[in-house]
Structure 1
């Protein structure tokens, strides 16, 4: 039996990875800020992090924070793994398709963490995936709080089902270090406009949809498809299928 540490193990992706690894018979340690016995803020490190990594054969790094600090968190995790001799066999990191092509702040951070992983001296695997269905829905729900849904013009997306990414990440975690794994994209490349209209229909919301041209290098890169992987459309579940599960019988509302 292998001992595997999953950082961010209670999050959108991490909890599914944890379930799959446990089902495969591994001892899985879940590290998150508020879940004992490994309640650790990776940005701060400390003795709790050392205890979490000690004895771990593999580390799956899913933790991320919208508040920033991902680079420091990765440095702390790698340093702890080195001290303990843990994860030396395998450090697995989940990243995003296009982090090296789209000059968007969060993408720059993910790319920086990729480089830390690659230069860690540990065996490593990096999997890049397109945006999860969950993220696209969250963005659209936030936009729908206004009476008009304002969308970036001429931008497409390729959302993927998070459980499918969890399947692949768990598979990689149980194998030998693979370096950069093949990218993983959703089954369809669609305009953001079509995704928004699908969400409105499924949720029963009524909103005018307006496409707005934006400025800047990041927008240009998104518009040019730098975050897409049409040649790696290996996901199976579509956004429409995801919406049917989330809104099985939505009644129209304002």
Structure 2
């Protein structure tokens, strides 16, 4: 039995893979989630909620390394404050936070909130690592599906879609490396426009649809044209391409574009 590594949000898409990687590397892992889970040798589940601040002291007890992946489109900063406070009480020696490229700079509520989340962690006094990641393939899939059905694509919007497996692998490495501050952003191997994403999606599905490119107005449009949402040097580019992801995706997620677009990503 060794000291556990705590993973908040360890039942999510990335979190499950991080837990598996850490456990496979010989570490006990404690998973904090709202609904709990089934324990296994070396993997313990604790019920708690970072947004509400419940169950955190039990989860943090005896875990000097914490991987904070729990979050959502709203009140991510509130959850970060609760996590930081629990880390301070527990004497956590390494808090690893996943964030998004462009945090605090792109004029979208969620991305601005992630910038505030980073600030909370940086100023907490808890030794930290922050990894900013590009958009996951799995999260862009329903977006591409919906745009395909609408036959629209935002103009001048470039993305660097990244494979979730690559992000999970990098997070596991960082969790075992000790506090490193803000590390190099992680992004996919290519920069694509939204029109590129939709075109490749359509080709993969055998669809012949003409896509109209619509301008993005205002400050958001300027931010996209300036590439504010793109990784800044240094950047680690790794993982599969968008095309490779599509080729390996579950056929049920790409078979019916209009239906797939209505699904909610984990």
Same fold (TM over 0.5): yes
Which residue in 2 is equivalent to 1:58? 65
TM-score by length of 2: 0.86
Q: Is the Cα contact below 8 Å between 2:184 and 2:236 reproduced in 1? A: no
C-alpha distance in 2, partners of 1:219/1:94?
25
C-alpha distance in 2, partners of 1:42/1:230?
30
Runs of 4+ in 1 over 2 A off after TM superposition: 141-144, 203-208, 229-233, 247-254
SS in 1 for 2:239: coil
Q: Is the Cα contact below 8 Å between 1:186 and 1:237 reproduced in 2? A: yes
C-alpha distance in 2, partners of 1:186/1:150?
23
Structure 2 residues not aligned, in runs of 5+:
38-44, 259-266
Q: Is the Cα contact below 8 Å between 2:165 and 2:239 reproduced in 1? A: no
Which residue in 1 is equivalent to 2:75? 69
Count of aligned pairs = 248
C-alpha distance in 1, partners of 2:24/2:132?
24
Which residue in 2 is equivalent to 1:117? 121
- 1:203 matched to 2:210? The reply is no
C-alpha distance in 2, partners of 1:170/1:151?
35
How far residue 80 of structure 1 moved from its aligned partner, in angstroms, is 1.3
Which residue in 2 is equivalent to 1:185? 187
1:134–1:221 CA distance, 2 compared to 1 (3 A): same
Q: Is the Cα contact below 8 Å between 2:96 and 2:128 reproduced in 1? A: yes
Which residue in 2 is equivalent to 1:19? 20
Q: Once the two structures are superposed, what CA deviation does each residue of 1:74-119 show, in whole Å capped at 9, x if it has no partner? A: 111111122222xx21000011111143121111111000001111
Q: Out of 41, 46, 49, which is 1:41 matched to?
A: 49
